[in-house]
Amino acid sequence: MFREITIGQYYPAESTLHSLDPRVKLFSTLMYIISLFSFDDPVSLVMITVALICVIKLSHVPFGFMIKGLKGIMVLLIIAGAFNLFLTPGKELVSFWIFSISDVGLKNAGIMTIRMIYLIVGTSIMTLTTTPNQLTDGLEKSLGFLKRIGIPVHEISMMMSIALRFIPILIEETDKIMKAQTARGADFESGGIIKKAKAMVPLLVPLFVSAFRRANDLALAMEARCYNGGTGRTKMKPLAYSSLDQRAYIVIVIYMVVFYLIKAVI
Amino acid sequence: MSLILDHVTYKYSSGTAYEIKALDDVCLTINDGEFVGVIGHTGSGKSTLVQHMNGLIKATEGHIYYNGQDIYDSDYDIKDLRTQVGMVFQYPEHQLFETTVFEDVCFGPKNQGLDKKEQTLRAYEALGLVKMDEKLFLASPFELSGGQKRRAAIAGVLAMKPAILILDEPTAGLDPKGRDDILGMIADMHEKRGDTVVLVSHSMEDVANYVDRIIVMDQGKPVYDGTPKEVFAHYKELEKMGLAAPQVTYVMNDLKAAGFDVNCDATTVAEAKKEIIRCFAK
Ligand SMILES: Nc1ncnc2c1ncn2[C@@H]1O[C@H](COP(=O)(O)OP(=O)(O)O)[C@@H](O)[C@H]1O
Ligand SMILES: [Mg+2]
């Protein structure tokens, strides 16, 4: 049941997007988000939409996967949309009972909803086409300059990759322990909130014990291989740009230039 | 009284890109009082199969009948089935959570709604069956050795007095002595109480000595089902599946190939010894 969680889920496939360097994807996503939050006219919207559709086509990921993330924020989206719609002052378009919709409100609500949806879909494409390891590698390399001001970039990214790696392991472990206790007659579903909280003890205690055991084992294994942080450490698969990545950078720069030209003209 | 699997198919992550068909149209009957071994290499669907037997996972297709009743009927008491069909998971020691071994063993009976006195009696009996040292009854389960933890966890299931006991690789990760102890204990119990036991393992050697029926799983399907003698007769095919017959099967077959007039039926060392002596005595 826990396997349905899709945060940062990777979709294995072969596509142009999958083979891009993670730094390119991080940079492009950042540019995309900037353009998304600075558009306010229909022409720019068309341009962003076309770009998004092209990227979706290039990713070879089924569309259903990208909008999975939307389900989670549906409620948030509706509430935020409603607030914008009803509570923005401006020229009144329609009104009934205590509600009234203004022209500004309608526009704001529309733009905000589009931004949220595009944001989720866009970032989902990045995580769906990049493995968590590539992603942290890319972040470490891109943020490497922060090392000079004393921020332990390598250690933080190592922590991130370990945490990401542990999510599926702990989910699987939870699933197993839950099954084992269910087989002994434990009941996780029925009863009030106190009974439910009590029912979690047989699940949480073994889960914590196993998490600590795994953390211990991992620390020992890392130490046994002489891990001592980032200095002097080399990579098995060092990140290197290919000509495809260079072309991708050119495309994204052209995208931004055209985007701001349109904005300036309109 | 029996457990019947009728055309059971199971897919993990059904309907996604990660879909895996773990069971493929399985039809099986587990009869009362049988000692059944389920064998197959890793990933052949053994664990998935046995988890269907007490309703922990629901078949994507097909039906399961326990004592003639369909366990997927909406008015079927699935909780009752779970006390009838006891399940010892792989690495069962990972489920221990109470402050003492004794209380942990009481967890199952407590969930069955038994009173305090009955719980205590059940726990005593179960811990006795797994030959747990009385000094350890009040120890923390986390202080025990690996083998002792496993016994405590198995006792936790036995205390529920299931009519069918399923053990998923109960000897994984134990040393040879620990393995023989646990298997001997299970065989002992089966003999004394006459209950049904399903023993999952990936080692032929493990089960050959104990069970009276072997089901060989391969790619989600039972491919052989019969007495150890019948199944090991296919030792060449078993090898192709990544399984090996017990070593004595090879010894006997080699002897026969070398011209000795032996019968290749022997599955345990004791039987093989008898057969070889008989052959040479002539
Ligand atoms: N929780 C799960 N989610 C997805 N796939 C699983 C899960 N558990 C097992 N599988 C897959 O199902 C198949 C059968 O697994 P399993 O029944 O555990 O085999 P065995 O116990 O014989 O090693 C394997 O291919 C395995 O990868
Ligand atoms: Mg298994």
The ipTM of this complex is 0.86
> How far, in Å, is the centroid of ligand 1 from the Cα of A250?
45
State the average pLDDT over residues B36-58: 93
DSSP A12: -
Residue A206: pLDDT band (50, 70, 90) is very high
Mean per-residue pLDDT of chain A: 86
State the average pLDDT over residues A97-115: 84
Per-residue pLDDT at A136 exceeds 70? yes
| Neighboring chain B residues of A179 at a CB cutoff of 8 Å | 51, 56, 89
Q: What is the number of the ligand 1 atom nearest to the C-alpha of B51?
A: 17
At B156-191, the pLDDT tens digits run 999 999 999 999 999 988 888 888 888 999 998 899
Q: Tell me how far apart the alpha carbons of residues A176 and A170 are, in angstroms, rounded to a whole number.
A: 10
Question: Cβ separation of A202 and B111 shorter than 8 Å?
Answer: no
pLDDT at B19: 86
Q: Tell me how far apart the alpha carbons of residues B2 and B65 are, in angstroms, rounded to a whole number.
A: 8
Question: Which residues does B60 contact at the CB level (< 8 Å), separation at least 6?
Answer: B9, B10, B11, B14
Residue B1: pLDDT band (50, 70, 90) is low
B241 lines ligand 1 (CB under 6 A): no
Closest CA–CA distance from residue B87 to any residue of chain A (Å): 6
B249 lines ligand 1 (CB under 6 A): no
> How far, in Å, is the centroid of ligand 1 from the Cα of B45?
6
Q: Tell me how far apart the alpha carbons of residues A10 and B152 are, in angstroms, rounded to a whole number.
A: 40
At A1-58, the pLDDT tens digits run 344 445 557 888 889 899 999 999 999 999 999 999 988 888 899 999 999 999 999 9
Please tell me which residue of chain A has the smallest CA distance to B53. A183
At B236-245, the pLDDT tens digits run 888 888 888 8
B52 lines ligand 1 (CB under 6 A): no
Closest listed ligand to the CA of B38: 1
* R_g of chain B, CA atoms, integer Å: 20
Question: Cβ separation of A187 and B56 shorter than 8 Å?
Answer: no
Closest listed ligand to the CA of A1: 1
Q: Which amino acid is at A170?
A: L
pLDDT at A258: 92
DSSP B77: -
Question: Which residues does B153 contact at the CB level (< 8 Å), separation at least 6?
Answer: B88, B92, B93, B95, B96
Residue B23: pLDDT band (50, 70, 90) is very high
B42 lines ligand 1 (CB under 6 A): yes
pLDDT at A208: 93
Query: In a 10 Å sphere around its CB, with 0-12 CB exposed, 13-18 middle and 19+ buried, how is residue A22 labelled?
Result: buried
State the average pLDDT over residues A66-71: 77
CA distances (Å), origin B259, targets A58, A74, B80, B272, B279: 67, 77, 57, 16, 11
- Across A2-11, A161-170, A207-216, the highest mean pLDDT is recorded for A207-216
Q: Are B166 and B87 in contact (CB under 8 A)?
A: yes
- pTM, rounded to two decimals: 0.77
Question: Cβ separation of B94 and A180 shorter than 8 Å?
Answer: yes
> How far, in Å, is the centroid of ligand 1 from the Cα of B44?
8
As residues whose CB is below 5 A from the ion ligand 2, the structure lists B 47
Per-residue pLDDT at A144 exceeds 50? yes
> How far, in Å, is the centroid of ligand 2 from the Cα of A261?
61
At B259-276, the pLDDT tens digits run 888 888 888 888 888 888
Q: Which two tokens stand for residue B156?
A: 């936790």
State the average pLDDT over residues B87-115: 93
Q: Beta strand B69-70 with B61-66: parallel, antiparallel or unpaired?
A: antiparallel
State the average pLDDT over residues B99-115: 94
pLDDT at A65: 79
CA-wise closest residue to B29 among B84, B66, B69, B54: B66
């290039």: which residue's tokens? Answer: A58
Q: What is the number of the ligand 1 atom nearest to the C-alpha of A175?
A: 1
Whether A184 and chain B come into contact, CB under 8 Å, resolves to yes
Residue A166: pLDDT band (50, 70, 90) is confident
B62 lines ligand 1 (CB under 6 A): no
Q: Hey, CA dihedral for A118, A124, A130, A133, is it positive or negative?
A: positive
DSSP B193: H
% of chain A beyond a pLDDT of 70 = 97
Q: What is the number of the ligand 1 atom nearest to the C-alpha of B200?
A: 21
pLDDT at A231: 75
Q: Are B199 and B211 in contact (CB under 8 A)?
A: yes
